[in-house]
Structure 1
């Protein structure tokens, strides 16, 4: 396949390109030189780089589009300016992709576009799957619902659309786990708040394998929860992480401290999301890491 990839030099994209070596990949990036350095480990001569969509009048040359680009949602406080950047970086680019798909006489067969489990908001301890209907005023839901609605406009008899409601992607070199490791290694890690909130996690390997699976499964379409079949509470996650690192586990961070420190974005830490990947498993996808303990053991085997 010839694939247009956005967000290819990001946290997930850098790993995904390792699994696309049999395909021709065109990576959209603001800095081709920086992107080339970021994915040099996976470039088998099959990756080319473009800095703008302006050169395209349609997407007739592409078989698929994978859209992972977007300002990280958890890296900064949610000021008005930051919220606008989070939204614009997702919605604006996706609109351009959809417009070019519509302009094509032989459009890509699939658009795979990002989203997140933040779409669901706080669901407490109730398990649910992709069929859950959500009415939320929360910012994460607003971002994801609008993002998905824009992507879904590309759907036609020629183009299927898959949206990736992504959980907490676990990898030692980035994302949430990288931020969590320093305090745990120092013996001061522990649950946040009462620790009862559910965390829909997924091993990075399963994350990128699932994207490739959706790319290659011609009848796959609609929203997919990209998270392991067994979400766990924050307290359980914290306990297993401490045990894996052979560190103590007795401290906790009060909810008010984090609310004070990071403001409104603390909902990302306290919303309880017990999401199940029903549609993915019904398609036949098999997780390499469906349970947390083996996943963390694999990810942290090289950490002292």
Structure 2
């Protein structure tokens, strides 16, 4: 991609921060959306829950990437926090999509966050981008999340949905919690460990987003997951091997449900998701295997 002006919402998050660093390193002008008063020309004010975006700050942006969302695993799913999860995704996406659509010269692409939670519990069934949405809170939320981007699509802006899996990285996300446990020798399977985990190395997540930014012929949903999903038991064994720690502990289902409440159902769910469209587009993973991804982190 030639040097461009790219707006990023969620730039302080795990994926957003890595994407901003990658774009800046290649000389692109990055504009961050912030909730406070801007501190410079590289920041744009927005208030996603109230549907407010300083559209003037987006003028000249060739691409807008929305990765802003409250963390699914940050708190128990009380009715209040489920509202926070929904509003941060649906209202934020709608605000940005409407701002994009209203620009005199809209950007050429709008990439919007989503998640493999879209598919619900797939069990042993392999799910690619043609699979239907599943059941449950997260699946319904992902459907609403993607539907909220309609104003951008209707304005003729190429719109891409980033259905991201479990990102293997230190410091944040699911693996940010797993690494300390395994280093302390407390790692192990969750439940019976037979549920599939569809993971992706942070490096490959950013590379895939960059790939989708660059390719003007690509739109719609893309699964951002490594090519071969593994069971939680297999992931656990790989963590133990790479970190050279025992991985014999196990967290029984009742304990998970007591600790996590409704969220436990999704932790124990099986999501055997594959990135068919990403592979067909010619993308190549740098860290396709779980041990490679863990070492990269």
Unaligned runs of 5+ in 1: 37-44, 300-304
Partner SS, residue 288 of structure 1 = coil
Question: Does the 8 Å CA contact 1:78/1:265 hold for their aligned counterparts?
Answer: yes
- The within-5 A match list for 1:189-208 is 189-208=187-206
- The within-5 A match list for 1:85-234 is 85-136=84-135, 138-156=136-154, 158-234=156-232
1:49 aligns with 2:75: no
Deviations 1:231-260 (A, max 9, x none): 100000000101111111222110110101
Query: Runs in 1 of length 4+ with deviation above 6 angstroms?
Result: none
What's the TM-score once normalised by structure 2's chain length? 0.92
- The answer for the alignment partner of 2:18 in structure 1 is 15
Question: Does the 8 Å CA contact 1:170/1:203 hold for their aligned counterparts?
Answer: yes
Give how far 1:62 is off.
1.9
1:2 aligns with 2:5: yes
Distance in 2 between the 1:230 and 1:188 partners? Answer: 26
Distance in 2 between the 1:143 and 1:229 partners? Answer: 25
User: What is the count of residue pairs matched by the alignment?
Assistant: 287
Distance in 1 between the 2:186 and 2:20 partners? Answer: 36
CA RMSD in angstroms comes to 1.8
1:25 aligns with 2:34: no
Give how far 1:101 is off.
2.1
What's the TM-score once normalised by structure 1's chain length? 0.90
Distance in 1 between the 2:234 and 2:36 partners? Answer: 40
- 248-257 or 219-228, which moves further after superposition? 248-257
Partner SS, residue 114 of structure 2 = strand
Give how far 1:59 is off.
4.7
Unaligned runs of 5+ in 2: 47-51
Give how far 1:173 is off.
2.1
Question: Does the 8 Å CA contact 2:242/2:295 hold for their aligned counterparts?
Answer: yes
Give how far 1:135 is off.
4.4
Give how far 1:268 is off.
2.6
